[in-house]
Amino acid sequence: MSYPLPRYTPSGRFNPLTLALFLGGIAAGAVVAWPYQLLLRVIPIIQLNFLLVAGFGAALAAAGYYAVRTGHCRNRVVALGLALVLAGVPLAASYYWEAKHVEDQIGFPTSVSDALAIKRHAGWQIGHGSGSPLKDEAVYFVWGGEALIVLGIVLFGVGSSVASPYCEKCRRWCEPKQFYVAGVGRAQAEPLLAKGELVALALIEPLAQADRSTSLSFTITECPGCHEAVFLTVEEKIVTVKKNKTSEKKKTLIKDVVLAAGQREPALERVNALVGQKLSA
Ligand SMILES: [Zn+2]
């Protein structure tokens, strides 16, 4: 369910520093692609290869996150466009390095596309030599899967950093603070949200005989400069224990809703009091 509450939206501004930082990340990624493809080739354990691919994606995503934050990028289209290049160029570089390796092995000059065709036809032996190797068309699936994992991680990382609240007045990123109220959930939050009573929601107290496995998580994201740009995210968390296994389900009720004057103060007072308590305890 969505509520007609004003949400934070990035202003669309960006600054050339973002572009420079992304270019740096892309160049570094193309260099790191060399040890990356070497490790992929020499490690025969598929689970480790998978971790390596995810790690490569995470490192590129971290570079993109840094470029967005340090470059103060509030333009989603620019950030996601640069993220595509940030994932694509290092991936292409890893195939290039792979082709160079094939060329070295056969010992005479070979074009990148011929080298990759040779690689495709050789494929990989999975397991202990039993069964046919993974080759030809199957190789496209492996490369496709690798590209999707890296691209997915980079787009997610960059997308979430450019969407996080920014104070245009102070030109700085807002900072999140979090508290939980156990014993209340969606059932108590939804009527308040429907009426737009954000103060009552931020000040909600646990019910007397409540089921404490359900809780509401509040994230108040605030400009540390002016304290006037303040946003509220509320999630419901349900913890279930099954066969000694604890699992947690999260549902976002509202995300980065703008708190107006009059709503900000009580919400900030509560989060600051609770954070203070935790520190002194
Ligand atoms: Zn500010």
Residue 171 near residue 75 (C-beta atoms within 8 A)? no
Residue 272 CA, ligand 1 centroid: distance in Å? 17
How remote is the C-alpha of 124 from its chain's centroid? 31
Name residue 155's beta-bridge partners: none
pLDDT tens for each residue of 103-150? 998 888 888 888 888 888 887 665 555 556 677 788 888 889 999 999
Q: How far is the CA of 223 from the centre of ligand 1 (A)?
A: 5
Q: What is the pTM of this model?
A: 0.86
Using alpha carbons, select from 83, 52, 51 the residue that is nearest to residue 67: 83
State the distance from the centre of ligand 1 to the C-alpha of 178, rounded, in angstroms: 19
- 274 confidence band (pLDDT: 50, 70, 90): confident
Token pair listed for 238? 């349900």
Cβ-Cβ contacts under 8 Å for 200 (sequence gap 6 or more)? 192
Q: How far is the CA of 168 from the centre of ligand 1 (A)?
A: 7
- Per residue in 67-94, pLDDT (tens digit) is 999 999 999 999 999 999 999 999 999 9
Predicted local distance difference test score (pLDDT) of residue 281: 46
For residue 270, the CA-to-ligand 1 centroid distance in Å is: 20
229 vs 113 pLDDT, higher one: 229
Q: Is the pLDDT of residue 233 over 90?
A: yes
Six-digit token string for 139: 């190789």
What's the 68 CA to ligand 1 centre distance in angstroms?
18
DSSP-assigned states of every residue in 73-127: ---HHHHHHHHHHHHHHHHHHHHHHHHHHHHHHHTS---HHHHHHHHHHH-B--S
Can you tell me the distance from the alpha carbon of 86 to that of 63, in angstroms, rounded to the nearest whole number? 9
Distance 184 CA to ligand 1 centre (A): 32
What's the gap in Å between 8 CA and the centre of ligand 1?
14
**What is residue 130's predicted lDDT score, i.e. its pLDDT?**
55
Extract the tokens encoding 223: 């400009």
> How would residue 244 be classed by pLDDT, with cut points 50, 70 and 90?
confident
Say what the pLDDT of residue 116 is.
87
**Structure tokens given for 272:** 């600051």
pLDDT given for residue 279 in this prediction: 56
* Predicted confidence (pLDDT) at residue 170 exceeds the cutoff of 60: yes
